[in-house]
Amino acid sequence: MVRSGNPALKESTFLDLGSGSVVSRHGEAMTLNGTVNKTGILLLLAVLTGAFAWSQVEVTAEGATGMGYLWGGLIGGFVLALVTIFKKEWAPVTAPLYALVEGLFLGAISALYNHMYEGIVTQAVMLTFGTLFALLMAYRSGLIKATENFKLGVVAATGGIALVYLLSMVLRMFGKDVPLIHESGIVGIGFSLFVIVIAALNLVLDFDFIESGVEAGAPKYMEWYAGFGLMVTLVWLYLEFLRLLAKLQSRD
């Protein structure tokens, strides 16, 4: 059963791959309140380091300073994300580290976007959290249900987007790019809107996955892991909102 398109949140997270039984241990079990609290802590850590990185970035005619925070945060966040995914029991340590490092990347790249289009970061943050709370309310009210067909559709679309971005990265190594999707034309804006919708729908799958883990009595450390998984999706959604807003403002 597919639980989420988010690679950090999948059904095997809560299951023993050998026996198929729910992973358990002595001590407290995962709770919804605990997961919410851990997610809040991770977001706060990211905001703190993000604010620091923002303050270190300065764009001049000669170039931009503080780019070490951007690349260090990007690479460090990727490595810590992989470690957390493959060693989920380390999440109480690696998830906060990921949040701190990812905050450096987000702060630096946000400062660059804000230099090009003043006010764009505030708009992207508001849209990201507005989407989070709107979908959470829709999920809790039963307006949106994570049926199996819904899950499979979102996972397939997420995989397709990942392949397009991977192809774009490979082509850029040879000085080329996937045509139109990164431009500010109708196709580029339409592509960004599509990606934002899929990223947002991944939040619904993540809510369903976390709820299932709580019901199954997953280990307490999975609260940190679930918070990490939600943060991965929120980071993706925020970056896509930045890209969309930048495309829209570049048309003015």
pLDDT of residue 175: 78
Contact status, residue 107 vs residue 51, Cβ threshold 8 Å: yes
Encoded amino acid at 195, one letter:
V
Distance CA 233, CA 204 (A): 10
**Measuring CA to CA, which residue among 100, 63, 104 is closest to residue 84?**
100
Is 11 a residue whose pLDDT tops 60?
no
Tens digit of pLDDT for each residue in 55-81?
A: 999 887 777 888 999 999 999 999 999
**Measuring CA to CA, which residue among 103, 76, 70 is closest to residue 235?**
103
Q: What is the mean pLDDT of residues 140-146?
A: 88
Is 46 a residue whose pLDDT tops 50?
yes
Calculate the average pLDDT of the chain.
87
Tens digit of pLDDT for each residue in 153-209?
A: 999 999 999 999 888 888 888 877 777 788 888 988 999 999 999 999 999 989 988
The residues, ordered by sequence, that sit 6+ positions from 124 with a Cβ below 8 Å of its Cβ are 110, 113, 238, 241, 242, 245
Least confidently predicted of 19-28, 38-47, 183-192: 19-28
Q: What is the mean pLDDT of residues 220-242?
A: 94
Q: Is 104 exposed, middle or buried, given 0-12, 13-18 or 19+ CB atoms closer than 10 A? A: buried
Residue 22, classed as helix, strand or coil, is strand
pLDDT of residue 17: 43
For the four alpha carbons of 95, 161, 73 and 51, in that order, the dihedral sign comes to negative
Residue 59, classed as helix, strand or coil, is strand
Q: Whole-prediction pTM value?
A: 0.87
Q: How far does CA 119 lie from the centroid of its chain?
A: 22
The residue whose two tokens read 């049926």 is 147
Distance CA 20, CA 41 (A): 31
pLDDT of residue 103: 97
